[in-house]
Structure 1
Amino acid sequence: MKKAGILNRHLAGALAGLGHGDGVLVCDAGMPIPDGPRVVDLAFRAGVPSFAEVVDGLLDELVVEGATAAAEVREANPAAAALLDGHFPELDLVAHEELKRLSAGARLVVRTGEARPYANVLLRCGVFF
């Protein structure tokens, strides 16, 4: 049994299978999930786990070379915008409809219990060397 890091076996296994350039969508409970990507649904109750908890946990384990979020997050969800800006100084912003379109190309979707709008980010995996 693992003693640290991500303990959810489905999520840990999915992360281990990612490679350079793969996309990981971390989304709120309301984001439409496209057909195709593997989905690990962590949502338990509204707000649990939070978008921030999941993003922070994933960033402890993944190398991320880029991130894309919906431009609407700036006005609709300042807390999520601040979190994303803190982690990704060069955050790409697109219209929410474009983010939904881009998410269809993700290799993995991690659904949180977040119940605030536009708490979604598409991560692009990098390499550790």
Structure 2
Amino acid sequence: MKRSGILNRHLAGALAELGHGDGVLVCDVGMPIPAGPRVVDLAFRAGIPSFADVLEGLLDELVVEGATAASEVRERNTPAARLLEERLPDLVFVPHDELKAFTTGARLVIRTGEARPYANVLLRCGVFF
């Protein structure tokens, strides 16, 4: 049994399969999930688990070389915007419709229980060397 880190077996297994350049969408409960990518749905109740908790846990385990979020998050969800800007220095903002179009190329979608708008980010995996 794992002692620490991500304990959800479905999520831990999906993360282990990722490679350089793969996309991981971390999203709120309202984000449309495209057909195709593997989905790990962590949503339990509105707000549980939060976008912040899931993102922080992922960033402890993943190498991220880039990220994209909806520009609308800056006005409509300032706590999520602050978190994204603090934790992802190479973050690029695009209109929400553009972000939704990008998600079709994601390899993995992680749905949180977040119920505040625009709490979505598309992470691009990097390498540790």
> TM-score band (shorter)?
over 0.9
TM-score relative to the length of structure 1: 0.99
**Within the alignment, does 1:6 sit opposite 2:6 as a pair?**
yes
Deviations 1:32-71 (Å, cap 9, x if unpaired)?
A: 0000000000000000000000000000100000000000
Distance 1:36 1:94 in 2: 22
Deviations 1:63-89 (Å, cap 9, x if unpaired)?
A: 000000000000000000000000112
Report matched runs for 1:1-129 at 5 Å.
1-129=1-129
Q: Quote the offset at 1:7 in angstroms.
A: 0.4
State the number of aligned residues. Answer: 129
Equivalent residue letter for 1:32: P
SS in 1 for 2:106: coil
Instruction: Give identity over the alignment, percent.
Output: 78
Distance 1:90 1:5 in 2: 24
State the Cα RMSD in Å: 0.4
Q: Quote the offset at 1:28 in angstroms.
A: 0.2
Distance 2:107 2:43 in 1: 19
Equivalent residue letter for 1:90: D
Structure 1 gaps, min length 5: none
Equivalent residue letter for 1:116: R
TM-score relative to the length of structure 2: 0.99
Distance 2:89 2:25 in 1: 18
Q: Quote the offset at 1:90 in angstroms.
A: 2.3
Runs of 4+ in 1 over 4 A off after TM superposition: none
Distance 2:111 2:60 in 1: 17
Distance 1:103 1:87 in 2: 20
